[in-house]
Amino acid sequence: MNPESVPGYVALRGDGAPTGRGSSAFTAVKPLDFEIDSTSAIGIVGESGSGKSTLARMLVGLEPVSSGVVTYNAAPLPQFLRSRTGRRDFRAAVQFVAQDTSSSFDPRRTLGDAVETPLAILHGITGDAAAERVAEVLALLQLDPGHLRRYPSEVSGGQRQRFALARALVVRPRILLCDEVVSALDVSVQGTVLNIIKEYCETNAVGLAFVSHGLPATAFVARELVVMRAGEVVERGPTRQVLDDPQHPYTASLLAAYRRDRAVVGPAERPVVAAVGPA
């Protein structure tokens, strides 16, 4: 398969992404090649400040790439985002769920408006058809339809995070980028949401890039792991291989820390997360 022929193919070719000016300038993401298509299930893991969220934001055009290029279906992403049609087509195919839900919702609009509006803008779906699709996604994420009449400030951070995920899934994207989407959820809910994301992407041929500081959650949903530290990819490979035989000391230290916390099981078992059922 030629990935550049797959609708919703996103790639980053970078020589590094310096951020800031003068003496405060630093390289947020060092040279790398990164690709996502509808067959991907990639987990990007690292501590705070590792550059993983910057990488995700660059892939969706929310963070500038000062040296290198992000492409969408083999063409430079900025070329798509300059036109209304291009922005619509890209947002319909590639959805990003940010960690900070407090700033990703308009506080003046209800959650129902926030979830339903993308259907009208990106696909021209309104009325009963839109309501039916919204109800389908809310049921999938186990969200109360009554909350559609509420404003973002009237629900918990965990509920707001699930509504952000609903807003992304409602348009049936080809690629889903998730940045710390379970960090605001109770442990009892995290496993359910991780199972939903994993199953939804596999069943609907949706490419997934899952960004998290939590190795167990990332390993559960991803077939490939990317380990970042200080803006650099220090290890990358199939999830099982990375867990069984880490090649970089930093990866080994992450595994050791989580095994001490009993969050990651030994190499003879599948990677699991507390409260997550069988894959």
- How large is the average pLDDT for residues 84-100? 91
CB atoms within 10 A of CB 27: 18
Alpha-carbon dihedral 177, 183, 189, 195, rounded to 10 degrees: 30
Please report which confidence band the pLDDT of residue 268 belongs to, taking 50, 70 and 90 as the band edges.
Answer: very low
> Considering all CA atoms of the chain, what is the largest pairwise distance in Å, rounded to the nearest integer?
56
The tokens for 175 are 């690629």
Q: Which CATH architecture describes the domain 3-260?
A: 3-Layer(aba) Sandwich (3.40)
| Mean of all residue pLDDT scores within the chain | 82
pLDDT at position 164:
95
- How large is the average pLDDT for residues 98-105? 85
Could you tell me the strand order of the sheet in which 41-45 lies?
Answer: 94-97, 175-179, 207-212, 41-45, 224-229, 232-238
The residue extents of the domains of the chain are: 3-260
pLDDT at position 20:
39
Please report which confidence band the pLDDT of residue 51 belongs to, taking 50, 70 and 90 as the band edges.
Answer: confident
Residue 228's closest CA among 236, 220, 218?
Answer: 236
pLDDT tens readout for residues 215-258: 888 999 999 999 999 888 899 999 999 999 999 999 999 888 87
Residue 179's closest CA among 45, 64, 275, 38?
Answer: 45
Please report which confidence band the pLDDT of residue 135 belongs to, taking 50, 70 and 90 as the band edges.
Answer: very high
Query: Is the model's pLDDT at 64 over the cut of 70?
Result: yes
pLDDT at position 50:
84
| pTM more than 0.95 | no
Which of 93-107, 110-124, 258-272 is least confident?
258-272
Query: Is the model's pLDDT at 19 over the cut of 60?
Result: no
- How large is the average pLDDT for residues 1-23? 47
Please report which confidence band the pLDDT of residue 30 belongs to, taking 50, 70 and 90 as the band edges.
Answer: low
Q: How far is CA 184 from CA 98, 162, 199, in A?
A: 11, 10, 21
Asked if 208 and 178 touch (Cβ cutoff 8 Å), the reply is yes
